[in-house]
Structure 1
Amino acid sequence: MKNLLITAFLFISVQLFSQAEMKLTKENICRGAAVSIVGNIKPFVDRGFPKSEILEMGKELVKDVIKDAPEKAYNLLKTNKSSDEVIEILYNDFMKLDKSVVSQFLLKPDMDDLEDEEYDEDDE
């Protein structure tokens, strides 16, 4: 039992340390935004949804500073670029933005998540 507790303690310590090392850097924000855009658009491109519908949904995802990113992703995916290639292209575009702009985040918050948090606070 003692060995199990020691192992669990070590595992928890490593987990906490690794989480403490995660930071919101420009690189992480830009990579996350690129992955999110491609991840949200590609399934609809693959299923043949009309461009106008995909771009309308994409508009709901991104802030104005990168409003052209969903269309760029759509066009690149339609030219048979892989998801990884499109992510890398968008990432490089986002990295050109000023750090102060990126620090405001590039994606719009998910309103459903915000509403859930508000209800959680009301319950307390």
Structure 2
Amino acid sequence: MGSSTTVVATVHEVAERLTEQGFAASVEPLARDGAQLCQHHCPVVDAAGEFSELCDAETHALGRLLGRHVTRLATLAQGDGVCTTLIPAGSADSHHSVSHADNEASNNSQTDAPAMHRQRERVAP
């Protein structure tokens, strides 16, 4: 449990910094396996809707910063209600690879940006 506690504390620090930068981030600790980092606002959501590489680069940077493999589960740019990244509690990785839960949707966002924009409008508070 010590590893999970350390990861969650570190993710809380990252969330604080992201919030300072306008991302309105929060952390959801997971019962056994780390945490989910949730970003409720994205200052670059419109650009990310057209260029999914922005989300991929952010996910990669989070993995490098946290020293472990992270998985992006959802993005505002794809029409989800919140950007969600899974951060496992396990040992730090040596290669910091990045995974996206829905690579096909990520690729489609480049070709169907107007549809993604319409979808975001329906989700926006």
What's the TM-score, normalizing by structure 2?
A: 0.32
Structure with max Cα Rg = 1
Q: Under a length normalisation based on structure 1, what TM-score does the superposition of the two structures give?
A: 0.33
Specify which structure has the bigger relative contact order, considering alpha-carbon pairs within 8 angstroms and separated by 6 or more residues: 1
**Greater fraction of residues in strand:** 2
